[in-house]
Amino acid sequence: MKNLTILILVFILIMGGASLLWINEKNPSSNTNLTNSGQEVVLSMKNYNYYPNIIEVEADKRVSITLDNSVRGCYRSFNIPELGVSKTSANSDDKIIFTPTKKGTFRFACSMGMGTGTIIVK
Ligand SMILES: [Cu+2]
């Protein structure tokens, strides 16, 4: 009887662990909002939007944003109105460089506002 109880407990633990793993594996696939931390940011395009579309940077440090070659059309025109950033990047070597001086959460967008994302300045 005691052995059976232990077996059941072990079984419950294994199932619990397995479901946790399952949840963890589930998350990345739904993660189109992956956060890219750091001052060197590379953005590409996924599902008609910037990817990743949350950027975390530190204030008062130079930020370099590269739009890789999957980013096309007006998405190459990159704007963060609240930080005074507005630049059209011709290609992946033409980086968007700025130094955010105010902290906060701001929106970035292409020139027509189809592609959007969030930049968090800490
Ligand atoms: Cu656009």
- Read off the pLDDT of residues 61-84 as tens digits, 9 standing for 90 and up: 999 999 999 999 999 999 999 999
The CB density around residue 34, as the number of other CB atoms within 10 Å, is 11
- 51 in the same domain as 24: no
Task: Say whether 64 sits in a helix, a strand or coil.
Answer: strand
Write phi, then psi, for 101 (nearest 5 degrees).
-105, -10
- Report the separation in Å between the CA atom of 35 and the middle of ligand 1, taken as the mean of its atom positions: 21
Q: How far is the CA of 72 from the centre of ligand 1 (A)?
A: 9
Q: What is the pTM of this model?
A: 0.70
Q: Both 90 and 69 in a single domain?
A: yes
pLDDT range class, residue 10, cuts 50, 70, 90: low
* Dist. CA 113–CA 69, nearest whole Å: 19
Centre of ligand 1 to C-alpha 81, Å, is 15
Domain shared by 14 and 66, yes or no: no
30 CA from centroid of ligand 1 (Å): 23
CA of 110 to the centre of ligand 1 (A): 5
- The pLDDT, as a whole number, for residue 37 is 67
| Number of structural domains the chain divides into | 2
Q: Which of the two residues, 48 and 7, has the higher pLDDT score?
A: 48
Domain residues for the domain of 79 are 35-121
Upper half-sphere CA count for residue 53 (Cβ side, 13 Å):
21
10 shares a domain with 53: no
One domain, residues 55 and 71: yes
Query: Both 25 and 39 in a single domain?
Result: no
Shared-domain flag, residues 18 and 57: no
Phi and psi of 52, rounded to 5°? -70, 160
Runs of H (alpha helix) within the chain: 2-29
Whole-number average pLDDT of the chain: 83
Same domain, 54 and 14: no
16 and 40, same domain (yes or no): no
Phi, psi angles (nearest 5°) of residue 118: -125, 135
Q: How many CB atoms lie within 10 A of CB 44?
A: 15
Measure 3 CA to ligand 1 centroid, in angstroms: 64
For the cut 80, the answer to whether the pLDDT of residue 41 exceeds it is yes
43 shares a domain with 78: yes
- Same domain assignment for residues 86 and 43: yes
Residue 83 contacts by C-beta under 8 Å, 6 or more apart in sequence? 98, 100, 102, 106, 119, 121
